[in-house]
Amino acid sequence: MSKNNQITKQFNFTIDAQVAEKAESIMRSADISPESLIKQLYSQISETGTIPFNPKSTVNNNVISKLTKASYERGQRVKTQKEIDAFFDDDGGY
């Protein structure tokens, strides 16, 4: 628990070393820590309901996200590549 008795969540992730070094240099010049910046980012997303930039997504992650969302919305589960292809080829009658 944090100092003010709020339940907190801890993150552990990996970032390309060159990207991290460059970003941390910029953060140092702005006198902000990575932890503080991430907290501010999460607060803004939580308060506004939007992401303050256009996130980059790999094609694979984007396809998986769309498939997961659509399968929950339609109540349809797919397991094989053939079922996945058929799922995306189906225009729902439009």
Whether the per-residue pLDDT at 32 is higher than 60: the answer is: yes
Query: Exposed e or buried b for every residue in 40-49, given b needs 16+ CB within 10 A?
Result: eeeeeeeeee
Query: Which of 39, 86, 84, 94 lies closest to 64, judged by CA?
Result: 84
Question: Could you write out the three-class secondary structure of 61-93?
Answer: HHHHHHHHHHHHHHCCCCCCHHHHHHHHHCCCC
Instruction: Reply yes or no on whether the pLDDT at 67 is more than 80.
Output: no
Q: What is the mean pLDDT of residues 58-75?
A: 68
Residue 61: is its pLDDT beyond 70?
no
- Among candidates 56, 54, 52, 30, which has minimal Cα distance to 43? 52
The percent of residues above 90 in pLDDT, for the chain, comes to 31
Q: How far apart are CA 90 and CA 94, in angstroms?
A: 9
Residues 2-8 have a mean pLDDT of 76
Which of 10-14, 26-30, 52-56 shows the lowest mean pLDDT across its residues? 52-56
pLDDT at 5 over 70: yes
Element (H, E) at 51: none
pLDDT at residue 36, rounded to an integer: 95
Tokens of 59: 């094609």
**In which band, very low, low, confident or very high, does the pLDDT at 58 lie, cut at 50, 70 and 90?**
low
| Domains, the chain, ordered by start | 1-55 (1.10.1220), 59-89 (no CATH)
